[in-house]
Structures are given as structure tokens and as C-alpha cells.
Chains A and B, each alone.
Chain A
């Protein structure tokens, strides 16, 4: 083919690429992991191009923590058609850059336009590219590697010919690479440019010696010294550019080093153990390339490509993550834990593309075709090609539809109602947080001016509460076990610290923890998002702190990225024009002189490829069989139980019912009814964490199993053992159903009168601040008792608080501990141990635990297993001896359900059992017991609590067993001198409002217990209602 004609393969590749990605991106991109984060950054630049400080996430962070080119490009385009327009245009550009990049890289490697054309077609829909774009959404990374591939021929030509023109073109392209993605040029140097230098040296040596076979190490070394100056000058300048173009990034990295605890990433898993990670980070990106691994290695280990062979070997090995210990050994612990290893696989698969193109060329129209036709027959060849093409297309379609079949994100949320809510009524004067939004939280942040405590770019996190936990976001903390919920509950308990007032919840899993941390439901927005609100949180101050950044850095950051593109464009434009318009006969680039001989495909290689394919087929077949056996729910009793609990966990009740013994005559309707009447922490808010089945007895048709389950709930970890019997009916195993609670309430239809409240908020329809006559008086509370106690190794404030006003009240209790020298030691709020909502004259016992920032001391003490109850006591350096207790009341009309009745109490040894009766007309979802302990003289010593796992329906009872506390408590300080209510001294308020208080009024009604340390207890009840309306 003459070099002057257009390469029709490349054009086809571009057309396929645009058509394929240009259509699918509208359905995939917004549900990828990263695309919306880049959109958020773009929104930042579109508002303040030169100011890198962003207040919206993590109480403020700098966007200088990520190279800006892609974000700035989207921002620039957003001025024309909005942010998403910019995103899609940049995606299309990245597709074009990638396909042409692969073409040029392949041409460089293979020196054959046809092969390069094949490679570019394959690249257009190669699974690793599809995955990176449509599943991960890593635009900067794609653009980075694409531009790097464009730079490679220029580097080759500079090293080979020494013409300065090529030095400038290649450096200009490297500058673009680094401004779009910082990691790509650094590792690109090692994995792409070093082997390229080797290739140049080989070519020079070959030219000297006449044939590649004659190249010895000595010749090679002499070639090296010959172009040593070029290599060094290129290396030094490239390094200068990598550092210089994004200098503020490096300065920021140095000033704010990533000291955070590593965040687990699937690419570091053992792929054999965690097969889903293996699929995502190994099988999919390699795809069909796996079949031709022998060919790829064979070709890359030929003498000319030797260095590419070494490089791709390293990439393959590093890409295996935690499957083998080698990546960890090679990278070292730190790098291994910071880097996501999937990028090595991506680069490896890209590096393989030229050889892949070559193989396909030889298979479709080259010597391999001839060989197969000659050795076997033409039909076989056609079948082979057919299978091959089908497999290739299938992997691509499978990859692109991955997000459809196994959504990694919650369903698309309409953001407008939330944006409107935040804009209304000065709601954006407080910080907000989202729960269960997935990466869509970035899109919300991009659309509102309100600030979030959370964020979606974990490298920029600053709060120690976040950096000490291996969680990406608070937002999805339920997937992050103990660290997740542990982190979240700290934010929920002391929201004043972060001015956090609103929470948008898209996942009802978090509802109980919000309730028991003292949050209240505001309303459900039109898009189904539940808004939660916390009272008594001060608004953000109008001036917020930020890190000052030098002006020159801001200017450099704002101008350089686009400047690099501009320079690269100018330097490369005439080449592009020549190439596109074929205006003049261009001299052949040097690398085209090193043609391969595509005649005589080695029949041994063909044989090896066949054997390898058969091995692969067997492995895949075995995998699929295992998968089938594991997933055939009726195959064995274990399978039946696993799938039953799995179905229950994911609320697939129909599937669960199919596992119920058909002979038990339990209809699906009855089953669903039974499921629907069981509510509570365990059945509605628990995620199955671990399950182990022990088959105790098994005959051919009968089995009985002991099932030990561990459930994660937002409040605590629950261990529960079930006993099930199974039967085999017609060769399939089924589970016998359990009996249901048959309690029959006495009344069918009955009235209930209760007081309900409404707060007008602002009576006038105005955007002005609330008129002072509309501001409600803070309800008056009285602290009846408060004391500082030491229990085991931790300190706590305990006591009782009463609402002595005439309106219902939300209670916020904040305790501070001091030592003898009045030095403040710790401060915290009451969490679970208080009824946060009190009716007029109602009393609640309380306890304030002092929680430190968990695991801030050492990394290795992070527990391996999940426990939402996890509590990290503050490490006191000095002895707390005094305390200050601030109680704030705010009028609240919600969550005032007080119908949980203690209807039976039995004293057993070290256990109190009893029943809770729901005497009202709403269903109780999570009942809670608050238990206060008293000594013989009825002095309050300790306050404890217990959540009851099952809910209580109307007029029904729920049995509970509460194990009594066995540890003793030491009272340290009982002085109530520093107790304040709404900022006023407690004693004064108490005297004024209830001057004739009967002290210890209900002490006569304490429950006597038979206990070594404590003599009396008081049981109070509190209840979370899942659906209060």
C-alpha cells in the first residue's frame, strides 16, 4: 500500500469507535465510578478557573490534587452546552485520540500500515478500553495514555534521527499527557519509553550490523553510547516537563502527603478468592488477548522487541494484584497499597494491541490463514475466525453492559428536588450529607452551592475522622463495615462540629442510626429522597478557612494545561494536515524501515496456541461448572440454605419462597404476608455479613442444619443461630418453613387520641430572617442528676434530664471533661443513651460516652471484623475530674411515639426478661430499652441500653431478655455546679420553674434486682418507627 492513500482500516476504526462509544456513552458514562467526579471538578473550574480552593467537599480541599486538563476542557466546553455536553464531547475526543494513538503506536511497532489498521479496529472495541471508559469512567487516564502513544513515534524519531523537531513534538505531547493524568507519564516512562529506547538501540545496531542476528551486547552497548546524549537530553527534559507543567500538584502533594489509611481496592485482591475482582480487573481487560498470550510473548520476546517483552511481562504480573505475592514484593508495601493495580493491566492490554493486530492480520489474510488452510482445511479456518470474532464482540458487549446487569450504582436520582431544597430557606447555610447516593453525590455537589462534609475524591480528605479510616465516602459506609459506620456515627453524633444539619438519605438502612443519634425526619422529596434534620446546629460562618496558595501557582495551574495543548497542536498540526490531506509526499518515518516478515507462520507456534486455547477452555469450563454448582440452589442442603438467606438478604422473597418445601402447602401469598408482618432491626435493616451452615444429620431425603449467621445493622452487629430442617423432594433440596407468631390482638378496630404538633416555621411568606415573634422559646429542661463515672477503663457522664416545659422537646446533651487544672480533655454528645425527644414533663436517663477519633493511634489496631457498635474510648492523658454539661432544648413535634409499654418483667439470674407491648396505633420498628442501675441507697450509677431485634406490631407483644451489667462503676464527681440548660445555669432554672420539686419522686417505683453490685434498675423504653405517618 502506498503511503499516500488513506488508511481505510483506520477510518473504519474511527467510524466504529465513534458510532459504538458515541451511542453507548449516554447510557453508561453517568453510572461509572469516576465520570461524575471529573464532572464535579469541571464544575469547579467553570466557576472559578483560577481559584483552586473548593469548599464543597471535606470542609474544603484543593483541586490542585488532580491534574486539571480534562476538567478544564469540560469546564470550557460547559460554557457552550453545559457540563454534561462537555463531558460527552471530551469522551468522544478521548475515543478518537485512543484509536489514532493505538494506530500510531502499532505502526511504530510493526511498521505495517495494514497491521496498524487492524490493531486500531481492534482497539476501538477492545474490552480493556471499553471497561476503562464505560465501567470506570477514567477519562483523564485514557487521554493520558492515548497522548502518550502519540508521543512514542516522535520519541523514537528523536532518538533515532536526532532531529530537534521531533524532540519538540514529543515533549509537547508528554506535556499534554502529564496535565491530563499524572501517573501515566511516570509509569509510561518505565513501561513504554524504556522499552522504546531499547527498540531504538536494536534498530540502530541492526542498521550497523545489517541483520538483527548479528546484534551482540557489545554492538548494542556502542549504539547506546552513540545516542546517549539524545536519551539523556530527552529524559531530563521530559522529567522537567512532568514536574514543571503541574508543579502546583507536586507542591500540594508534598505539603499534604497522603497519610491516610489505605483504602481497599478490588485490584489488590486475590483474584482466585474474590472472583468478582478477578473478573473486573483481570478477565475483562485481558479478554480475548488471553488466548493469544503465547503469541504475544513469542513476538515480544523476539530480539527486536525484547524490552517490550520484559515490560509486558512485568505489566501482566503486576496486574494480577494480590493473587501472587510478586506485585507486593516489586512495588513495596506503600506503593502497593496506594496504587490501583488495574492500570497495569490496562497498559499491558494496550501494549499487546499491535501484536494482536498483527495476529489478526495474519489470521484473516496472512500466512497464518495459509498455514491453517494448508495444514487443516479452509472450513476450519472459517470456524476459527468466526469463534474468534464472536468471542471478541461478546466480551465488548458484555463489558459495556456490565453496569446494566450488575449496577455498581444506585438508580439514577433526580437531583432537582434536592437542589431546590438546598436553595430554599437558606438551607445551604449548613453543610449536608448524602447517604446511599453512590458516585451520584458528585453530580449533586456540582449542581448546588451547599457544602457537604463528605466527598468523593478520597486523596483530598483532610478531617482525621476520615483519613484514619479506609473508607472512600461516608455516603456508602454500610459497605465498609466497622470503619464505615464507625466513622459515620461520629459525624451523626456531633454534627455541630461540622455544621452538618441536613442528610439526604436514599437508603433506609441508615434510618435507625439517624434516629437514635437524635436526627429527625423532615420530609420526603418528590424524588423519594428522605430528608433528615438535626436541631441545634449552628449555621456555617460566612468566612471559612482555606489554604492560601501562591498567585504564581494559580496562574500556572490556570494557563499551562491549555497552553500545552495549544503548543502540541501547533507543533504537530502540519504533520496532521499533511497526513490528513496527503498534500505532499511525506518522507517515510524511520520506523517504517524495519518491516517484519509476515510469511511462514511457525507451525509449532500454531500448535502451542491450540494447546493453550484448549487449556483455557478447560479452565473456563471448570469455572462455569463450579459457578453453576455453587448457584444451583437445590443442589445440596448447604446450597439451599445459602441461597435462601441470600434471597432474604436481598429481599427477593419470591426466590426465597421457591426454596420452601412445596409439600408444606405454604402459598406464596401466605409466605409474603408472613414476611411483610415481620419488621424490625433484623428483618428490615440488616445485611447478612457471614453465614456458616453445619449439617448435623443428613439422610438421602432429610437434613437438619444449624445456621450461624452474622448480620450487620446500622446500630449493632447481630449474631443469630437458626435451626432448619430440609427435605429432598424430587431430587431437589427444600427448607421446611417456620411457624409464625400467632398472637391475636383483642381489638379489630379501635380509636386512639393523641396530641400532635405543627410548627409553622415562618408565619410570613418571606425570604427575610424569621421575625423575632416567630422564633419559639427554647423549651426549658432540667437536669435532675448528673455525675461523672468511670466504668471499666472509660469515663462517662450519666444522669437524668426532664422536660419541664409545656411543649415537646428535642434534647441535645453535650458533655465536656476537665482535669483538676481545668484543662479540657474531651467533649462529646449523648448518642444512643437518651430519649432524644421528650414530651412535657417526661424524664430520660442519659449517658454520654467520650469517643475518640477511632484508630487514630496506630494503623494496625484496626479490627478486621465488622462491628458497628465499635467504640474507641478517648485516650486520656490526664485524669478527668470535673465535667461541664450543656443541655439544649428545641421545640420538636416529630418522633413522639410513647406507646411502648413494659408489660411483663421476670427476674432471672443476671438477666431480666420481659415483654414490650405496643399499646398505640403505629408499628414499632426498633424498640430500645434504657436501663439505669442504682445501688442500695438508690443512687444512680450506670445507664445502659439494648436494642430489640424484632419490631412490635400494634397491640402485640415482644419478648426480650436483657443481660444485667456485671461491671462495677466508680463515681468520680457528682457536683452539678457546671450544668447548663440552654446556656443558663441549671440550678437557677430549676428553682424558678419547679420550685417545689419532690426529689427522687419515683424512686419508690424502682425495680429491685438480685445482683452483686447493683440493687435496683429502672427500665425506660424508646422506639424508632420505620414509617411514622
Chain B
């Protein structure tokens, strides 16, 4: 309706056409009407002919048949034309020189509806981002109200309520609402001539996060390859002290003693992101730092993991084709929880021909050398677990 309701503001609100035509004379004196009111254009005539009146406005055109009363021709505008605010051009379709002119229809100054648009529905805190409220009060015929009509914009944020007055210009009124420094919800509405719009919502979201701290929690400091260390951030906030929105992704990078990068991640809840990492299965020292890419980072935290296994046995049986590794014992002498990885490399003439990985079961890892895969010969076997490497040279199969 916005574009349709744009009407032409003319300095010539009345165009008086001097009658060059002696047969007809425009006798209606009123040239401004209010939308919806009956509009009758009258002409006096000296002849018997009753020409048609051609009228046209921004919505369309039509022809009107006259109502003749003695020497007066009355042309009544249909409501479709008479209810649209704007200029109506008319032409009296006489055979000779044609009379023509304009009348102006003004919107009714009462509000039936306020078309309101608000966007974007979410903005970032900090006072630079903004949302715009556009209010178009319209009359009963959907005409935008006249320019300079006052519209009150009310908005509420936390315990603060603001009323601003804006005016209709070119059919619309608008208000830029800048974000406050705090997150929250702005509720806004508009009112005009006693009519109130419905409620509209702007969510004020936190801005980019700033640096934060991290901490860790673990049940023990042994590298048992089983327990889990939990990392957590302090409450991550933006520069105005707003807690970042839930779900913000924080990535924890861990540099191991071998300078390898392993990583875990967490998403924030009430600003705190929690990430988990399994304990290493061999002595290690970790240096941990968390990042929110491009925006914020944490302090660096160092962790040490102590070795739980200092030694293990390798037992060969069944013509050396079955190898049992263990017992694998943990820091108190207890059997290590099932699942410690034991890697088993088989070399033939200094060339790696097979790698097998197994998890310990009840303290042991058992490997079988399948005769298809390992034909008879001389092999070197290397076993790695918990950071300890042991090798058996010249294993004859």
C-alpha cells in the first residue's frame, strides 16, 4: 500500500479552467474533498447534450454519466475513486473544446490501522547497530495519513520507557532505534491519533566477545588413557559486560609435549563453555589455550600427566605366533582399565610389514600372527604402549 498511497503534492490544489467553452461551465467551487465523502462535480449547460466525464486518479480511470437537472449536470464520483487520497484529473468529453481540471482528495484524519515494520529483529549491543521502525498510519480507505501527522513511537528496554514523536513524511514515518549497551529485549509500538499498533520486538544480542580465562578439572593427574579432563571457560562476555549468547563456539587447542596440536571444543551456556578431553595414555604435558576465532582468546594453562606404566612383559607362545603383552598395571598397581591401546609393529628385514592395534583386556593385549600374513621367517616385533617401546629382535616363526 505504501507505494500506492504516495500521492502527488501539488501546489495547484485548484486548477481553475477558464471557460473557453461557452456551452459548459464548471460550477463546483470546492476543490478539496476528504476521502470517502461524496464528490459531485457540477457543470451548467446551455445545450441539451449530456457529455460523459472522464476521471482518472492513480488507481485507474472511469467515465461518469451525468445526472441532468435543468441546466445543471451533476457527476457523482464512484466511491472507488472518491475514497482514494490524491489528485483526480477530470475531463468533460464534449465534442468541441474540452473542459478539464483537477480536484484533490485528502486522506481522512482518523486512523484505522498502523502498518508497522520493524527490522532487523535482532541487533548487537553497543550503540552502533540499529533497527528501524517504520509506521504508516492509514485511514479507513487505506490512505496514508497526511504529511506532518504526528506518530508517537514508544519503546521499552529494561526499566526504561521512551516515547518519541515522529512525523509522517511522504506517507511514512520512521524511527531508527540504536542498540543499548546491554543485551535484552526492546519492545516497541507506535500510536497515532489515539490508535495504537501492536507490539514489536527487537532482541539486543551481545557484541563480539573479549578475552576470558580457562580452568580445568580432572580426577587425577595420571596418563591412564581413560579418565577425562574437563576444561571450562570463565563467563565469556562482550566489551560491555554482556554474557555472550548461548551456543557460542569456543575451541580449546592443546599443544602436547611433542608439539602436536590436539583440540576439543565447547559451546557456551550462560557464558561458560565446557570441553572434554580424554587423558593421554603416556606421560605428557599439555599447554592449553582457548580461542573464539578472530575475537577473543584465553590465558594459557599448563597441565602435566604422569606415567602410570613403567614396564610390561612380552610373552611368546605357540611357535612365537601368539604374543601376550602384560600385565599392564596402573599407578596403584591395579590392572589398568580395559582399553589401553597397545600397538604392535612387525618388521621383516627392517621393513614395516604390519601394524596392529589392540586394546587391553584385563591388563593384557594379545596378538596372533596369522601364517597367511606372516609366512615362516625372521621378524622383528616392536610393541608400543603408554609411551613405552619394547622390541623383540629375531623372532623366528
Contact = CB atoms under 8 A, between A and B. Distances in A.
- Asked if A and B bind, the verdict is yes
Interface of A: 696-697, 704-706, 723, 725, 739, 741-747, 753-755, 757, 772-773, 776-777, 784, 802-808, 838-843, 896, 898-899, 901-907, 914, 917, 919, 955, 957, 959, 992-994, 996-999, 1001-1002, 1005-1008, 1019
B359 A905 contact: no
B37 interface: no
A704 B260 contact: no
B363 to A, nearest CB: 11
B291 interface: yes
Contacts of B51: none
A919 B228 contact: yes
B175 interface: no
B46 interface: no
Contacts of A807: 122, 245, 247
A1008 B251 CA distance: 18
Given A744-B337, A806-B122, A904 B280 contact: yes
A168 B208 CA distance: 88
A804 B238 CA distance: 13
Contact of B265 (A802, A901, A906): A901
19 contacts: A704-B372, A739-B358, A742-B338, A777-B119, A777-B120, A806-B244, A806-B248, A842-B249, A902-B264, A914-B262, A919-B276, A919-B278, A955-B228, A994-B208, A994-B295, A997-B294, A999-B294, A1002-B251, A1006-B261
A776 B338 CA distance: 49
B35 interface: no
Interface residues of B, number: 65
B361 interface: yes
Nearest to A702: B371
A1007 B261 contact: yes
A805 B248 CA distance: 9
A959 B264 contact: no
A772 B117 contact: yes
Shortest 6 CB-CB contacts between residues of A and residues of B: A743-B339, A696-B372, A806-B245, A842-B249, A919-B276, A744-B338
B206 A806 contact: yes
Contacts of A905: 256, 260-262
Contact of B201 (A747, A773, A917, A957): A773
A710 B10 CA distance: 81
Nearest to A997: B294
Contacts of A803: 249
Contacts of A741: 339, 359
Contact of A1005 (B253, B275, B277, B292): B253
B176 to A, nearest CB: 15
Given A754-B269, A840-B249, A903-B278, A1002 B260 contact: no
Contacts of B253: 1002, 1005
Contacts of B255: 1005
Contact of A1001 (B119, B121, B228, B297): B297
A341 B238 CA distance: 73
B264 to A, nearest CB: 4
B155 to A, nearest CB: 15
B357 interface: yes
A755 B251 contact: no
Nearest to B281: A904
B117 A746 contact: no
Given A904-B262, A955-B228, A753 B338 contact: no
A841 B276 contact: no
Interface in B210-244: 226-228, 244
Interface string B258-277: 01111111011100001111
Contacts of B118: 773
Nearest to B266: A898
Contacts of B206: 806
Given A754-B269, A841-B293, A994-B294, A773 B275 contact: no
Given A773-B201, A842-B249, A898-B267, 18 more contacts: A696-B372, A741-B339, A742-B338, A745-B339, A746-B228, A753-B274, A754-B267, A755-B246, A773-B118, A840-B245, A841-B292, A919-B275, A955-B228, A993-B208, A996-B208, A998-B294, A1001-B293, A1001-B297
B37 to A, nearest CB: 33
Contacts of A706: 372-373
A402 to B, nearest CB: 42
Interface centre among B121, B251, B261, B337 (most CB of A within 10 A): B261
Contacts of A1007: 260-261
B92 interface: no
Contacts of A896: 247
B307 interface: no
Interface of B: 117-122, 124, 128-129, 200-201, 205-206, 208-209, 226-228, 244-251, 253, 255-256, 259-265, 267-269, 274-278, 280, 289, 291-295, 297, 337-339, 341, 357-361, 370-373
A839 B294 contact: no
Contacts of B289: 1005
Contacts of B121: 773, 776-777
Nearest to B227: A746
B339 A1001 contact: no
A806 B261 contact: no
Interface centre among B206, B267, B295 (most CB of A within 10 A): B267
Contacts of B297: 998, 1001
B209 to A, nearest CB: 7
Interface centre among A696, A803, A1005 (most CB of B within 10 A): A1005
Nearest to B373: A723
Contacts of B209: 841
A380 to B, nearest CB: 58
A839 B274 contact: no
A757 B264 CA distance: 22
Nearest to A843: B293
A901 B264 contact: yes
Nearest to A905: B260
Contact of B260 (A753, A757, A907): A907
B377 to A, nearest CB: 15
A65 B370 CA distance: 62
A744 B339 contact: yes
Contacts of B247: 755, 757, 806-808, 839-840, 896
A919 to B, nearest CB: 4
Contacts of B337: 744, 746
A1006 B259 CA distance: 10
A998 B295 contact: yes
B371 A704 contact: yes
Contact of A841 (B128, B200, B295, B361): B295
B277 A898 contact: no
Contacts of B339: 741-745
A839 B249 contact: yes
A901 B294 contact: no
Nearest to A903: B278
A994 B262 CA distance: 27
A548 B201 CA distance: 50
A899 B275 CA distance: 8
Contacts of B227: 746
A737 to B, nearest CB: 13
Given A806-B245, A919-B276, A993-B124, A839 B259 contact: no
Contact of B293 (A746, A802, A992): A802
B287 to A, nearest CB: 11
B150 to A, nearest CB: 24
A741 B357 CA distance: 10
Interface centre among B226, B294, B339, B358 (most CB of A within 10 A): B294
A705 B226 CA distance: 35
Given A742-B339, A744-B337, A753-B269, A898 B262 contact: no
A901 B261 contact: no
B113 to A, nearest CB: 14
Contacts of A742: 338-339, 359-361
Given A747-B228, A1008-B259, A841 B277 contact: no
A744 B362 CA distance: 11
